[in-house]
Amino acid sequence: MYENPRMQPGAPRPLTQSQPNPFEGAFYGAGSGLIRGDLGTYGEKFLGSSSEYVQSNISRYFSDPQYYFQVNDQYVRNKLKVVLFPFLHRCHWTRITEPVGGRLSYRPPIYDINAPDLYIPFMAFGTYVILAGLLLGLQGRFSPDAVQWLFVKGLLGWSLQVMLLKVTLLSLGGVEPPLLDIVAYAGYTFAGLCLAIMGKIILSYMYFVMMPLACLCMGIFLVKTMKRVLSAEVRSYDSSRLHYLLLFIAFAQFPLFSWLGNISLNWLF
Amino acid sequence: MTREFAVPPVVFPSGGNPATGNLQQRRVPTAPFQPPRPSSSSIPFMSFDIGPATSTSTLYGGPIGTGGGPSGSANFDDEEPLLDELGIHPEQIWKKTKSILNPFRVNPAVHKDSDLSGPIILYLSLCLFQLLAGKIQFGVILGWIVVSSMFLYVVFNMLAGRNGKLNLHACTSVVGYCMLPVVILSAAMLFLPQASVVRFVIAGVFVLWATRASTALMVALAEGEEEHRGLVAYACFLIYTLFSLLVIF
């Protein structure tokens, strides 16, 4: 199931294509003009010789990014509610699958509230950088270099979260979800983080209330999601090991959030 | 191989009277001085001859003069005006800039063909106003414009899916033109007190103006993106808030 989570709404495309353009086959650029148009021509120029290698490896590690941007207003609103207040989400957490072209693949985010998307993580990351810059400005420590440093710090935090999730999933064995799925799940931390920083801007003591709340909510969300991700693959694993690792994910949110939420110009604290 | 140059005579105005024998041995050219020219010269030679002894040269110089002279000036006249050759059309830039001034009725027809010269002018004026405020941020603003237009390009094309046909040039053009409110904001900030709520309120108004204008343009330039209007609007809002941070603080 995780080998091919691509969803092709509308006209079904053949999954194996022998195309003269290697990038067209690798990315299944169903309309993402960026990839097919611009990158395709450049990619062919640079990587035309090793197209087979590139095609196989990229399609293995990098699922179609356009799937994660099939969102609309209503999905965004509801998903934000799920991410920020996961304990209020009473429905199931499993992703809906449907057979496409003989394989089971997941429905895109418009149709499925539990599907990950990349729009919210990107926007939440941008909001985090701007809110942190605003906070610095209110404290009189604003400078363009500070904003650039915050951007890098945010990216570091995102990749740390991705590594945490990936290591956890790896150590439990089985087939991992595609990298972009994990990137999306990790990016949801910025939504809760933005709320905490907004609390910090309004009243500096509110931060010490909002931050643990955000950590807790993110922990619950990640635990529930990872549990679903892992139990999608029915394998015989150590149940206690699974619970310890999920608990580890939840507790690791606290240092991560406090590092990212501490808006300053130093790299650590 | 030595060439023999015709040396003009040296005439001393007073006093020393050289030996008259020398004078007669020298060649006395006609005035004005002209180098001797072979009558059958293969090299066409454009010259403005005054003396009558140079009738052969006028045969060469005449046609070349009439051919080369007016054609030389015609080459210069036939050239395009400099601004057209550079692709800068001031009246188009002015029309596009004026269309942003009214955020409620943006005219996307003028923005159909994108250009980058208007954004460059707006970028330079923003940097100028920042300079007047004491902040030297030329590189920062340029870098941020580039990064934010790439960000908007990626997000917009991914959201649009199959219809994603916005190219980077048009995206940068839209982002650049909608910087007009930020430029006006930076001009207004010069007159406001440093730490006051008024700065934030006015900045908020201008950021909303820029967001509305850029969303209307982006949605109109890529037909059929109405359903993602709110999503694109939030991305534009983020971009212009970023620039307003530079202006406020």
Crossing angle between the packed helical segments A73-84 and A207-231, to the nearest 10 degrees: 110
Question: Does residue A73 sit at the B interface (CB-CB below 8 Å)?
Answer: yes
| Cβ A99 vs Cβ A5: under 8 Å | no
At residue A84, the pLDDT reads 93
CB pair distance less than 8 Å for A147 and B235: no
At residue A51, the pLDDT reads 57
- Cβ atoms < 10 Å from Cβ of B28: 9
Indicate left, alpha or beta for B87 from its phi (over 0: left) and psi (-120 to 50: alpha).
Answer: left
Rounded CA Rg of chain B: 34
Q: Is the pLDDT confidence value at B118 over 90?
A: yes
Is A230 or B187 the better-scoring residue by pLDDT? B187
Reduced to 3 states (helix: H, G, I; strand: E, B; else coil), residue B23 is: helix
| Tens-digit pLDDT profile for residues B19-41 | 444 555 555 555 666 566 555 55
Rounded to whole angstroms, the Cα distance separating B208 from B213 reads 9
CB pair distance less than 8 Å for A123 and B230: no
At residue B42, the pLDDT reads 59
Omega of the bond leading into B32 within 30 degrees of 0 (cis): yes
Q: Nearest to residue B152, comparing CAs of B175, B176, B179? A: B175
Question: Does residue B169 sit at the A interface (CB-CB below 8 Å)?
Answer: no
Nearest CB to B161 within list A31, A118, A123 = A31
Contacts (Cβ under 8 Å, ≥6 apart) of A228: A93, A94, A95, A114
At residue B246, the pLDDT reads 93
Contacts (Cβ under 8 Å, ≥6 apart) of A41: none
8-state DSSP, B105: S
Q: Is the pLDDT confidence value at B16 over 60?
A: no
The nearest CA of chain A is from the CA of B242 a distance in Å of: 6
Reduced to 3 states (helix: H, G, I; strand: E, B; else coil), residue A103 is: strand
At residue B35, the pLDDT reads 62
Please provide the size of chain B in residues.
Answer: 249
Nearest CB to B238 within list A33, A118, A126 = A126
pLDDT tier, B172 (very low <50, low <70, confident <90, very high otherwise): very high
Question: Does residue B166 sit at the A interface (CB-CB below 8 Å)?
Answer: yes
Q: Is the pLDDT confidence value at B167 over 70?
A: yes
Is B125 or B7 the better-scoring residue by pLDDT? B125
By C-alpha distance, the chain A residue nearest B137 is A144
The nearest CA of chain B is from the CA of A19 a distance in Å of: 20
- Cβ atoms < 10 Å from Cβ of B116: 15
- Which of B245, B247, B248 should we substitute to test contact with A (largest number of A Cβ atoms within 10 Å)? B245
Q: Is the pLDDT confidence value at B178 over 80?
A: yes
Q: Nearest to residue B155, comparing CAs of A8, A189, A108, A122? A: A122
CB pair distance less than 8 Å for A34 and B242: no
At residue A56, the pLDDT reads 56
Q: Is the pLDDT confidence value at A29 over 70?
A: no
Nearest CB to B161 within list A66, A122, A144 = A66
By C-alpha distance, the chain A residue nearest B196 is A138
At residue B29, the pLDDT reads 52
CB contacts of A137 in chain B (<8 Å) are: 245, 248-249
Place of tokens 């080459």: B75
CB pair distance less than 8 Å for B153 and A34: yes
Question: Does residue B249 sit at the A interface (CB-CB below 8 Å)?
Answer: yes
At residue B34, the pLDDT reads 58
Q: List the beta bridge partners of residue A98.
A: A105
pLDDT tier, B79 (very low <50, low <70, confident <90, very high otherwise): confident
Rounded to whole angstroms, the Cα distance separating B209 from A155 reads 30
- Which of B135, B152, B156, B157 should we substitute to test contact with A (largest number of A Cβ atoms within 10 Å)? B157
Give ∠ CA B24-B26-B32 in degrees, rounded to 5: 110
Q: How far, rounded to the nearest angstrom, does the alpha carbon of residue A76 sit from its chain's CA centroid? A: 14
At residue A165, the pLDDT reads 92
Q: Is the pLDDT confidence value at A194 over 80?
A: yes
Q: Nearest to residue A185, comparing CAs of A128, A132, A225? A: A225
At residue A64, the pLDDT reads 81
Instruction: Tell me what the mean pLDDT of segment A204-218 comes to.
Output: 92
At residue A128, the pLDDT reads 96
User: Which of A41-50, A254-263, B73-82 has the lowest average pLDDT?
Assistant: A41-50
User: Which of A110-119, A255-264, B64-73, B140-149 has the lowest average pLDDT?
Assistant: B64-73
Rounded to whole angstroms, the Cα distance separating B194 from B247 reads 11
Place of tokens 């590594």: A163
| Cβ B231 vs Cβ A119: under 8 Å | yes
Rounded to whole angstroms, the Cα distance separating A221 from A187 reads 12
Tokens, residue A111? 């149709």
CB contacts of B165 in chain A (<8 Å) are: 33
At residue A14, the pLDDT reads 40
By C-alpha distance, the chain B residue nearest A134 is B245
How many Cα atoms are found within 13 Å in the side-chain-facing hemisphere of A146?
21
Instruction: Tell me what the mean pLDDT of segment B144-168 comes to.
Output: 88
| Cβ B60 vs Cβ B45: under 8 Å | yes
Tokens, residue A161? 């979260």
- Which of A6, A70, A130 should we substitute to test contact with B (largest number of B Cβ atoms within 10 Å)? A130
Q: Is the pLDDT confidence value at B13 over 50?
A: yes
Q: List the beta bridge partners of residue A99.
A: A104
The nearest CA of chain A is from the CA of B230 a distance in Å of: 7
Instruction: Tell me what the mean pLDDT of segment B53-74 comes to.
Output: 48
Question: Does residue B105 sit at the A interface (CB-CB below 8 Å)?
Answer: no
Phi, psi of A41 (to 5 degrees): -65, -45
Instruction: Kindly state the percentage of chain B with pLDDT values over 90.
Output: 45
Q: Is the pLDDT confidence value at A119 over 50?
A: yes
Place of tokens 């072209």: A101
Is B8 or A19 the better-scoring residue by pLDDT? B8
User: Which of A224-238, B67-81, B151-165, B225-239 has the lowest average pLDDT?
Assistant: B67-81
Place of tokens 């330079």: B124
Tokens, residue B87? 């692709």
Q: Is the pLDDT confidence value at B100 over 60?
A: yes
Alpha carbon of A13 to those of A33, A36, A107, A167: distances in Å?
Answer: 17, 15, 16, 34
| Tens-digit pLDDT profile for residues A88-115 | 888 888 888 888 777 878 888 889 899 9
Tokens, residue B160? 């649009």
Rounded to whole angstroms, the Cα distance separating A59 from A72 reads 26
pLDDT tier, A21 (very low <50, low <70, confident <90, very high otherwise): very low
Is A103 or B171 the better-scoring residue by pLDDT? B171
Is 0.85 exceeded by the ipTM?
Answer: no
Segment of B6-15, B48-57, B134-143 carrying the highest mean pLDDT: B134-143
Ordered by start, the domain boundaries in chain B are 91-101+111-248
Helix or strand holding residue A120 (H, E)? helix A119-138
| Tens-digit pLDDT profile for residues A139-163 | 999 999 999 999 999 999 999 999 9
Rounded to whole angstroms, the Cα distance separating B161 from A67 reads 9
Rounded to whole angstroms, the Cα distance separating B183 from B223 reads 29
Reduced to 3 states (helix: H, G, I; strand: E, B; else coil), residue B38 is: coil
| Cβ A220 vs Cβ A250: under 8 Å | yes
Rounded to whole angstroms, the Cα distance separating A225 from A218 reads 10
Q: How far, rounded to the nearest angstrom, does the alpha carbon of residue B35 sit from its chain's CA centroid? A: 46
CB contacts of B140 in chain A (<8 Å) are: 144
Instruction: Kindly state the percentage of chain B with pLDDT values over 70.
Output: 74
Q: Is the pLDDT confidence value at B74 over 90?
A: no
| Cβ B238 vs Cβ A123: under 8 Å | yes
CB contacts of A34 in chain B (<8 Å) are: 153-154, 157-158, 164
- Cβ atoms < 10 Å from Cβ of B75: 9
| Cβ A89 vs Cβ A69: under 8 Å | no
Tokens, residue A159? 């990749």
Is B142 or B81 the better-scoring residue by pLDDT? B142
